[in-house]
Structure 1
Amino acid sequence: MKIVIVDDDKLVCVALKTILEAEGDISVIGTGHNGKEAIELYNSLKPDILLIDIRMDTMTGLEAAEQILSSDKNGKILFLTTFLDDEYIVKALKLGAKGYIIKQNFESIVPALRAVNMGQSVFGEDIVSKLPSLINKNSSPDFSSFGVTEKELDIISLVAEGLSNKEIAGKLYLSEGTVRNSISIILEKLSLRDRTQLAVFYYKNK
C-alpha cells in the first residue's frame, strides 16, 4: 500500500511515516506540508491513498482534495485532522473523500487506511454521530437516480439517524424481519457494505 502524507507539521509527518512503515505492508512514498504540494505529489507519485490534514498554509487539504478528485474521481483521500468543524465534515463528504478521522484517535489510522484501500469509507463514530445535525431535514432529496424507492428512502434516512432495525420497524409499521431484509437489498443495490456506509451515502447525496 503506497501512501503520501501531507501535514503542515513536519514532526507529524515523520511520526506518521515511522508508525505506518512499521506495519511492513505500508510504504510512505512521499510527504508534503501544504495543499499545493499534495496535488504535486499525488499527480507525480500516484499513491494508493493520500493521507492529508485540512488546515494548512498556502492551500488547505479540502481545496487540494477538490482539485485532485475533479481530475481523478477514483482517488482515495483520507482526511486526518484535529478539527471536528461541521463545515469541514460536510465538505469532505460532498467532495467524495473516503474518510475523515481525528488525529487524537491515532490507533485508528492504520485500520482506516486498510479499510479505505479495500474500497470502504471510514468516518469515525464521533463524525457519524454529528451527521444528522448537519443536514437540513426540511429538504427533500431525490434518490430515484440510484434506483431507490420512497419506502427504501424512508428506511435509509432512519438508518442514517442511527435507529436500530427494531426502532425503524416501529416507526414504519413494518416487521423487524422486513426491515432487515430491506436493508440487505438496499446495500446490495447501492454496492455498499454496511449501515455506516449507507449513512454516509445518504448524507453525501442529500
Structure 2
Amino acid sequence: MDKKRILLIDDDELITMSLEMIISAEEDFQVVGKGNSGKEAVKLYDELTPDILLMDIRMADMNGLEAAEVILGKYPDATILFLTTFSDDEYIVKALKLGVKGYLLKQDYKSLPVALHAAIDGQSVFGGAIVDKLPALMNKADNPGGFNYQEKDITEKEYEVIQLVAEGFSNKEIAQKLFLSEGTVRNYLSTILEKLELRDRTQLAIFYLKN
C-alpha cells in the first residue's frame, strides 16, 4: 500500500516533532517534509507535491493563509489542512473562502489521524469548536458588513423568500419557484415580518436591499 505523503509546517519545532510522531504511528501516512514558515511551505510544496499539507496559520515571514493562497493558485487541487491554536472568526472565514479542506485546533490533536483520513477521502474536516461557529460565519461571509439574519432566527428557506420578495415576485411566483403552496408562502411571509418587526412586503424589500 502506498503511503500518503504529509508535509508539516509549524513555527514551533516541538509541535512539529509531536505531530510527526502522531502521524508516523499511522501505517498509511508518512511525513516527507517539515518547515517553519509560509515561505517554506510554498517552497517545499513545489519540491515535494505532498498528498496533504498540514500547516499552522500564525507564522512569521509569511502566514499560513498567505501560503495557502499561493499554493492553491498554482495547485487548485491541493489538500491543505490548517492546524492552529486560534479559532478567530476572520481566519476561519478566510480559510473557507480560500477553499482549504479543513480547519482544526491543536487541542484536538487526538482526532488528527481521523481528520487526515477524511481529507484523503475528499471530505472537508473541521474541529468541533469550528463546526459550532460555521452557520454564523457563513452568514457573515454571505453578508459582509450587513445584517445577520441568523440572529433573528431567519431560516434558509425564509431567507430565500425574502430574496424573492425583494426581487419583486408575487406569492404565486415565489410558490412556483420554491415548490411550495401559496398558503405556505403567506405563512412564511407572516413569520418573517414578525421576526424582523416589519409591517409589509414593501418594507421587507426595502430592508433587504438596505442590508
Is TM more than 0.5 here?
yes
For the residues of structure 1 that align with 2:57 and 2:67, how far apart are their CA atoms? 9
- Gap change, CA 1:18 and 1:154, over 3 Å in 2: same
Structure 1 residues 57-95: Cα deviation after superposition (integer angstroms, max 9, x where no partner): 100000000000011110000000000000000000000
1:56 alignment partner, SS class: coil
Question: What RMSD over aligned residues (CA atoms) do the two structures have, in Å?
Answer: 2.5
SS in 2 for 1:104: helix
* TM-score between the two structures when normalised by the length of structure 2: 0.65
Q: Is the 8 A contact 2:8 2:16 kept in 1?
A: yes
2:26 aligned with 1:28, yes or no? no
Tell me what 1:66 maps to: 69
Are 1:40 and 2:46 matched, yes or no? Answer: no
Show the counterpart of 2:78: 75
Aligned partner of 2:87 among 64, 81, 84: 84
Question: Residue type matched to 1:18 in 2?
Answer: M
What is the CA-CA distance between 1:137 and the residue it aligns to? 8.4
The normalised TM-score by structure 1 is 0.67
Q: d(CA) in 2 for partners of 1:156 and 1:74?
A: 32
2:140 aligned residue: 136
Structure number with the bigger relative contact order (C-alpha 8 A, sep ≥ 6) is 1
**Cα distance, 1:155–1:72 mapped onto 2, change above 3 Å:** farther
Q: Deviations over 1:118-147 (max 9, x none)?
A: 11100122112112322238849xxxxxxx
**Counterpart position of 2:7:** 4
The answer to whether 1:54 aligns with 2:57 is: yes
Task: Pick closer, same or farther for the CA change 1:2–1:95 going to 2, 3 Å.
Answer: same
